[in-house]
Amino acid sequence: MTAPLDRPRVWPGQPYPLGAHWDGRGVNFALFSLHAEKVELCLFDGTGARQTARVALPEYTDEVWHGYLPDLRPGQLYGYRVYGPYEPEHGHRFNHHKLLIDPYARLLHGAVRWHDALYGYRVGDARGDLSFDTRDSARYVPKCVVVDDAADAHHWRRPRTPWRRSVIYEMHAGGYTRRHPQVPDALRGSFRGLAEPAPVAYLADLGVTAVELLPVHAHLDERRLVDAGLSNYWGYNSIGFFAPDNRFLTRPDPGEFRLLARTLHDAGIELLLDVVYNHTGEGSELGPTLSFRGIDNASYYHLNPQAPRHTRDFTGCGNSLNLAQPRVLQLVLDSLRYWVQQMGVDGFRFDLATTLAREGSDGGFDPGSGFFDAVRQDPVLAGIKLIAEPWDLGPGGYRLGGFPAGWGEWNDQYRDTVRAFWRGDAGQVATLASRLTGSSDIFPNHGRRPTASINFITAHDGFTLRDLVSFEHKHNAANGEQNRDGTDNNLSWNCGVEGPSDDPVIEALRQQQMRNLLATLLLSQGTPMLLAGDEFGHTQGGNNNAYCQDNAISWPNWTQLEQEDGAALQRYLRRLLKLRERHGVFRRDRFFSGRSITASGHKDIVWLNADGSEKADHDWQAEPHLLACVLDGEAGVEHLGPQGQSRRDDSYLVILHAGAEAVVFHMPPAGLGASWRRVFDTCATDGRGDGLSLSAGGECSLPPRCVQVFERLGEP
């Protein structure tokens, strides 16, 4: 007999799996809390406005509170109230007056509505966070939704693109289609809109192999932003690690994300997620009590060992998740597995990843941390792409090159060196040579490959490509922080005028500089990452920190593809991506050695002076704006099948000239090639080389600021 929902039956249930799980007959609830004294499950009607029942979870096993309700069904709304000591001086902030979000909730109903009742202490009280607030927060908190787990069983046809063939395209899941003319109005800004035929076909035609979405986990808009009429557009403020953000759903159905994953896979495109496990949206000890803080503050967060009242902030966001706590580590691993197995994700980029490996009383970075060990041995995550943002704001937080084997890392040194070189800075050539060849000085150990270097010139954080060549200073007034936010170290050059210009000479120079930067990126060893919209010149008006701009500042303007400059740049990038895809010498799986690799004595790479001679050690400072090398085709050999078939690539001469004056370059001597044909040139709007053939030692006049690629004709 079924009990009325205001007095639902409750059975002991099981402590695993954590979260709310429908088994076809009822729902099992399980919540970790090491220090709680009691946990109540609160049930709500379909609107989320009225509480229909409150049930104490009857069992506590292995630090998990649990109970089974046979009368509940998928779609049920719920939340938790957790009882325990309110002792901020000891790190405990239990307050049963606050409704709490299940960390394992797979769907949320509603959104946070800011009110002082959301805080565990009385806002404005002279005692600050030592005071205790008794107001009920339920009306202001989103409700968790029980989902049908049976619908989560999927078999994914993953592209499984090798790292050496990967080209990542970073985008915002919503903003990308907000102005897309071929996406129906009702679907713009959603997962379904991104899965529409036009955006997917565009991505496939462009030649990218993986889409990397900015955070799509349920997130929180900070109170100060809401008060200012803004929002956290980027979403780096997670409040749940399983639930997709409602702003990307057209209806309350996680299946819309799965549709996107399947659609991208069918087009041969991998789906990567930018994930934020380093902190939560609850902020510092002065932040709201929405979930983790009220469930078990002392377990979930790094606290100051000398003063546990205060959180340790390695992230600049007020708190840091403590993955040294086994149950918190379990939460992160369970979340990763969920998005891989049930949602079809092919990889992750970990925001401020250094924080994930901070352990011990000093909170230091540990390359042998439990997080790294757990990920390394997990069979579900085997073969999944793992990318670190290898820094945070804590002590010793910059760890580029310090992540374990199997990880890719955002290489900001690549970004800065390439920007500085094309800005015209002297002293960059020697460092640029290393960056172009995969940064072996940064990734030398543990069998790591050039592909460990995630090369990028622009990303969501900073100038777009167009703004990089149009602004020397940030213009962030729209963010409401008096232009104090965002970096001042842009390493940009405006080509003579700050901001938009009608001068055709300046505009032509800006277009060529964009082509130069893109060519450098795609001709470098490593894994390239592009920023969505850069391929047609999207501008944010000089805003280099558009995290709170959910508007035309951030949304790509697709009408730019209807303009000649935008269309030409897009065609150029497409040609460049095809060049990279066709030739393994531009995407090697091994570092260059600079030594002979064939019986004929040819080196895999030879660095050249402008007179065609091979560089000696004393030559690296002689030509501060010119870098040239020959990539031998033998270095681009690719193995094509299980029987060991291989294909030898062509040999290429690559020249990067960032100087403001034309220079004469002499073709390499006959020992490196009898003759050379120009096949790529950034002076042409489409990048197409003019086919000019030059014999060994012949003279080539290089215009200012250009990239040229020559193919060797025949064997030397």
Could you read off the pLDDT of 3-54 as tens digits, one per residue? 556 789 999 999 999 999 999 999 999 999 999 999 999 999 999 999 999 9
H/E segment holding residue 194: helix 191-194
Q: pLDDT digits over 470-523, tens only?
A: 999 999 999 999 999 999 999 999 999 999 999 999 999 999 999 999 999 999
d(CA 699, CA 656): 16
Question: What's the pLDDT score for residue 481?
Answer: 96
pLDDT above 70 covers a percentage of the chain that reads 96
Quick check: 443 and 452 in contact, CB under 8 A?
yes
Rg (CA), the chain: 28
Q: Which range among 255-264, 467-476, 601-610 shows the weakest confidence by mean pLDDT?
A: 601-610
| Cβ partners under 8 Å of residue 630, min gap 6 | 605, 606, 608, 651, 652, 653, 654, 668, 672, 673, 712
Q: pLDDT digits over 104-118, tens only?
A: 999 999 999 999 999
Question: What's the pLDDT score for residue 676?
Answer: 97
Report the pLDDT averaged over residues 291-313: 98
Could you tell me which of 62, 58, 59, 65 has the C-alpha nearest to residue 20? Answer: 65
Quick check: 518 and 443 in contact, CB under 8 A?
no
Determine how β-strand 675-681 pairs with β-strand 706-713: antiparallel
Please tell me whether residue 522 adopts helix, strand or coil conformation.
helix
| Cβ partners under 8 Å of residue 331, min gap 6 | 18, 32, 103, 104, 241
Per-residue pLDDT band at 1 (split at 50, 70, 90)? very low
Question: What's the pLDDT score for residue 642?
Answer: 59
Give me 67's structure tokens.
């109970």
Amino acid identity of residue 68, one-letter, is Y
Whether 151 has a pLDDT exceeding 60, the answer reads no
Kindly name the residue from 389, 550, 681, 711 that is annotated as catalytic.
Answer: 389
Per-residue pLDDT band at 671 (split at 50, 70, 90)? confident
Domain 19-146 annotated CATH 2.60.40.10: yes
d(CA 62, CA 460): 42
Peptide bond into 444 cis (omega under 30): no
Per-residue pLDDT band at 594 (split at 50, 70, 90)? confident
How does the average pLDDT of the chain come out, rounded? 95
Task: Check if 409 is active-site.
Answer: no
Q: Which fold has domain 594-713?
A: Immunoglobulin-like (2.60.40)
625 phi-psi bin (left φ>0, alpha ψ -120 to 50, beta other): alpha
Give DSSP secondary structure letters for 622-687.
Answer: T-TTEEEEEE-GGGG-EE-STT--EEPPPPEEEEEE--SS-EEEEPPPTTT-SEEEEEEETTSTT-
Quick check: 647 and 700 in contact, CB under 8 A?
no
d(CA 716, CA 264): 44
Task: Check if 351 is active-site.
Answer: yes
Burial class (CB within 10 angstroms; exposed 0-12, middle 13-18, buried 19+) of 714: exposed
Kindly name the residue from 196, 212, 351, 535 that is annotated as catalytic.
Answer: 351
Question: What's the pLDDT score for residue 78?
Answer: 99
Report the pLDDT averaged over residues 162-189: 98
Domain with CATH 2.60.40.1180 in the chain: 594-713
Question: What's the pLDDT score for residue 570?
Answer: 98
Q: pLDDT digits over 550-583, tens only?
A: 999 999 999 999 999 999 999 999 999 999 999 9
Q: Per this entry, what is the length of the chain?
A: 716
Domain with CATH 2.60.40.10 in the chain: 19-146
Q: Which range among 257-261, 309-313, 403-407, 647-651 shows the weakest confidence by mean pLDDT?
A: 647-651
Question: What's the pLDDT score for residue 646?
Answer: 60
Question: What's the pLDDT score for residue 639?
Answer: 58
d(CA 256, CA 702): 52
Quick check: 193 and 616 in contact, CB under 8 A?
no
367 alpha-carbon distance from chain centroid: 21
Question: What's the pLDDT score for residue 92?
Answer: 98
Report the pLDDT averaged over residues 648-659: 94
pLDDT above 90 covers a percentage of the chain that reads 92
pTM listed for this prediction: 0.97
Question: What's the pLDDT score for residue 149?
Answer: 75
d(CA 496, CA 9): 74
CB atoms within 10 A of CB 679: 19
Please tell me whether residue 150 adopts helix, strand or coil conformation.
helix
Report the pLDDT averaged over residues 144-149: 93
Per-residue pLDDT band at 365 (split at 50, 70, 90)? very high
